[in-house]
Amino acid sequence: MVTMPAKAPVSGPVSDPPPEYAVRAGMASDVGRVRRSNEDALAFVCPDDIALRRRLGVLAMVADGMGGHRGGEVASTLAVDTICRGYFAARPGEDRLRALERAMLDANRAICQAGLADPSLEGMGTTATALVIVDDSVLFAHVGDSRLYHCAEGHCRQLTEDHTLVQQMVKNGVLSAEAARLYPMRNVLMRSLGTYSGLKIATRSCAAPQIGDTFVLCSDGLHASVDAADIAEVVASLQPREASQRLVELACARDGSDNVSVAVVVVRPVATGEDAAAMADR
């Protein structure tokens, strides 16, 4: 299991199930130019157990905490740990998308309980976006405004929908998409982990992974200033670790008012003689 509290770049191992493709991941994070602490957390999990890896695949996720220096960091770290461990504890035969949703709901309960147990953590919460690639499936679960993008053949599209007040206003026709980018309350969340027990998790099963597919998970510190076209250009020209670092650099140079975290996950052919479970992106 490779996890990080988003302090420095790290890259994940390569998975081997199924043999038609492998998955390489690179991650990077930065505190930004204004904040004193980094409340984001990232993870890429590739189980050492081959049977588990073939059954449940690999998982990447990002979480963006809120609730002050300690609360936000605790919430995002707790979300990453609970979701990663919970998903890979799925029983044989359990629906994998349901297992991912269950892990997210477990994280919601864990954060709520931690906030109730410690007055200094009251009101903490976090976004969470988790991606699973397994066999012929791409699955994701999502709460908040951290995003998942799919990039292929030079194009990049957003797969998640932001759970924000401004996005709801756009859907209702109150704001245009262009006006929404500058709206003063654009960061107000409608959903986040740790805020209430009846939380609804957005889940989706996508088309089977194809060689060349790239998935980008990021906190809002990236997409506030780096658009889909920029993301597509960067991931098409760089390896996952370098791409994640470059995207973080772009966000910090253009804005930097928030923490910035990025995971770049690439589906590629298996190299001849590759020890898929041991290799890492360098």
Extract the tokens encoding 75: 């919430």
Instruction: Record the tokens describing residue 187, joined without a space.
Output: 């960061």
- Calculate the alpha carbon distances from 184 to 38, 114, 269, 277 in Å: 23, 31, 45, 46
Q: Residue 167's pLDDT is what?
A: 82
Report the CATH number of the 2-268 domain. 3.60.40.10
What pLDDT, on the 0 to 100 scale, is given for residue 4? Answer: 41
At residue 187, the pLDDT reads 76
The 10s digit of each residue's pLDDT in 24-33 is: 999 999 999 9
In a 3-state reduction of DSSP, which class is residue 96?
helix
Which pairs from 241-247 meet CB under 8 Å and 24+ separation?
241/9, 241/11, 241/26, 241/27, 241/28, 241/281, 241/282, 242/26, 243/26, 244/9, 244/26, 244/27, 244/28, 245/9, 245/26, 245/28, 247/28, 247/216, 247/218, 247/222
The residue type found at 110 is: A
**pLDDT at 7 (0 to 100):** 42
Instruction: Name the stretches of the chain with pLDDT < 70.
Output: 1-19, 68-69, 179, 182-183, 272-282
What pLDDT, on a 0 to 100 scale, did the predictor assign at position 272? Answer: 65
- Both tokens of 62, joined, read 């990002």
Task: Dig out the tokens for 238 from the structure.
Answer: 């760089």
Question: Model-level pTM?
Answer: 0.89
Order of strands across the sheet with 260-268? 10-15, 22-30, 260-268, 214-218, 147-152, 155-158
Tokens (6 digits) for 250: 């772009």
Residue 64 CA to residue 40 CA, distance in Å, equals 4
pLDDT digits (tens, 9 = 90+) for 56-91: 999 999 999 998 668 999 999 999 999 999 999 999
Q: Smallest Cα–Cα separation from 64: which of 205, 225, 199, 194?
A: 194
Helices (H) and strands (E) in the chain, counts: 8, 13
